[in-house]
Amino acid sequence: MYKLVVIPGDGIGREVVPVAVQVLEKLLPDLQTVEAEAGWDCFQRHGSAVPDATFQALLECGAGLFGAVSSLTGQRVVGYRSAILQLRQQLKLNTNLRPVRSWPSISPRPGVDLILLCENSEGLYCGREHWESEGVAIAEWVISRDATQALALRALEVAKARKARRITLVHKANVLPVTCGLFRDTCREVLEGEGWAAELDERLVDLAALQLVEQPEAFDLIVTSNLFGDILSDLACHWSGGLGLAPSLNWGQDIALAEPIHGSAPDIAGSGRANPLAAILSTALLLRYHWQKPALAKRLEKAVENFLLEEGKADFGFETTRVVGQGILAAL
C-alpha cells in the first residue's frame, strides 16, 4: 500500500495538485492520500508556514506532493520562512533531482535528455544572513562534506539507473576555493572511488550555463550545489517546454517530496490556465526513484508523450488544467 501526503500550497498549486493525484491514483489504485497544509496562505491562517502536523504526516507516510509556495519578493515578514525550504532542511531532503528532456510538439530542440542533481539543504539557501554594519549585508555559503557525500552517492544511484555515459560536476572553485573546492573534491573522491574517473568531467558554472544554451544534448548527469542547480535547471527547462513541464523530486533517506518547479503564479491562479504537466511528471519521479516503480513511471511519461503528439500543444487557454488532465488520464 502506498501513502501520499498531498500539500497543494499556494496559488495554482491548489489546481494542478488534484489533477496529478488523479493521475497517480489511476496508476496506483490502492494509493492512500492525506491532506496537509503548508505555504504563505497557511502562515496567514495559522502563524506557521509548515505546521507540525504536516511534518508528522510526511514522516509517517514517507512521500508527498507539494504544489507551490508564494515567494515574498522584496519584503520580510517576522516569523515567516519559505515552506519548501523548511521542508527540505528539516526532513533532510538533501538531494534535488530535476530532469530535462525534449517533448514532442512543444520542445524547441530535439535530443535533449539530462538530469540535474543539486544539493538541497545548504549553500546560500541555508538562511544565514545578517547585517555586518550599516549598508553591508552578509549571506553565508555553507558546504559540508557529509551533505556533499550524500549527493554524490545519489548521483551514483541515478547514473546506474539511467546508464549514464558521463557525470559533470559544476562549481566555481576558481573563485570559491574553500567551499566550492570542498564540493568538487568530495564529489570526485566518491565518484572516482566507484570507478567513474574516466566518465567524470567538470565545468565552471558560467561555462556550464553557456553550454546548456549552445549544446544541451551534450550533457547527461549534472551534479552541482544548491544555488547553481536552481539557476541552471530553470535555464535548461527551456528545452523541455518551460516551467510548465519542469518536475522535481526532493529526495532524502526513505522520504521524498515531489514538487513542480513552477511557482504559485498568482496572476493566473483560479483562471483554469495552469498547466498540470509539471506536477504530473513530478509524480513520475516519485514512482521511479522513491517507490521503485520504473515501469509505471515510464508508462506515465509515455502517456504525456502521446498526449503531446496528438494535441500538438499544452496550452488550451482557460481550459488548460482540465483538458491536459483529462488528456493524460485518457492516454493512460
Closest alpha carbon to 284 in 332, 324, 237, 321: 332
Instruction: Enter the pTM of the model.
Output: 0.95
What pLDDT is recorded for position 314? Answer: 84
Grid coordinates belonging to 133: 554594519
What pLDDT is recorded for position 114? Answer: 98
The answer to whether residue 78 scores a pLDDT higher than 90 is no
What pLDDT is recorded for position 117? Answer: 98
Average confidence score pLDDT of the chain: 95
What pLDDT is recorded for position 72? Answer: 75
The answer to whether residue 73 scores a pLDDT higher than 80 is no
CA distances from 28 to 34, 284, 291, 327 (A): 15, 12, 11, 18
pLDDT: is 126 or 219 the higher one? 219
Active site residues: 125, 172, 206, 230, 234
**Domain definitions of the chain by residue range:** 1-97+243-332, 108-240
Confidence of residue 137 (pLDDT cuts 50, 70, 90): very high
Same fold, 1-97+243-332 and 108-240: yes
What pLDDT is recorded for position 286? Answer: 98
What pLDDT is recorded for position 210? Answer: 98
d(CA 87, CA 28): 25
The answer to whether residue 15 scores a pLDDT higher than 80 is yes
Check: CB of residue 284 under 8 Å from CB of residue 318: no
* pLDDT per residue as tens digits for the range 17-37: 999 999 999 999 999 999 999
The answer to whether residue 63 scores a pLDDT higher than 90 is yes
Q: Per CATH, is 1-97+243-332 categorized as 3.40.50.720?
A: no
The answer to whether residue 170 scores a pLDDT higher than 90 is yes
The answer to whether residue 74 scores a pLDDT higher than 70 is no
Closest alpha carbon to 161 in 202, 212, 233, 221: 221
What pLDDT is recorded for position 172? Answer: 98
Using CB atoms within 10 A of its CB, is residue 50 exposed (0-12), middle (13-18) or buried (19+)?
Answer: buried
Closest alpha carbon to 328 in 244, 319, 153, 314: 314
What's the average model confidence in pLDDT over 65-78?
84
pLDDT: is 94 or 79 the higher one? 94
Grid coordinates belonging to 205: 558554472
The answer to whether residue 303 scores a pLDDT higher than 80 is yes
Grid coordinates belonging to 316: 488550451
What pLDDT is recorded for position 67? Answer: 97
* pLDDT per residue as tens digits for the range 176-224: 999 999 999 999 999 999 999 999 999 999 999 999 999 999 999 999 9
* pLDDT per residue as tens digits for the range 227-268: 999 999 999 999 999 988 999 999 999 999 999 999 999 999
Grid coordinates belonging to 181: 573546492
The 3-state secondary structure of the chain, one letter per residue: CCEEEEEEECCCHHHHHHHHHHHHHHHCCCCEEEECCCCHHHHHHHCCCCCHHHHHHHHHHCEEEEEECCCCCCCCCCCCCCHHHHHHHHCCCCEEEEEEECCCCCCCCCCCEEEEEEECCCEHHHCCEEEEECCEEEECCECCHHHHHHHHHHHHHHHHHHCCCCEEEEECCCCCCCHHHHHHHHHHHHHHHCCCCCCEEEEEHHHHHHHHHHCHHHCCEEEECHHHHHHHHHHHHHHHCCHHHCCCEEECCCCEEECCCCCCCCCCCCCCCCCCHHHHHHHHHHHHHHCCCHHHHHHHHHHHHHHHHHHCCCCCHHHHHHHHHHHHHHHC
Q: What are phi and psi of 152, to 5 degrees?
A: -65, -35
- Residues 158, 35, 330, 303, Cα dihedral to 10°: -10
pLDDT: is 2 or 72 the higher one? 2
CATH code of the domain made up of 108-240 = 3.40.718.10
Check: CB of residue 261 under 8 Å from CB of residue 71: no
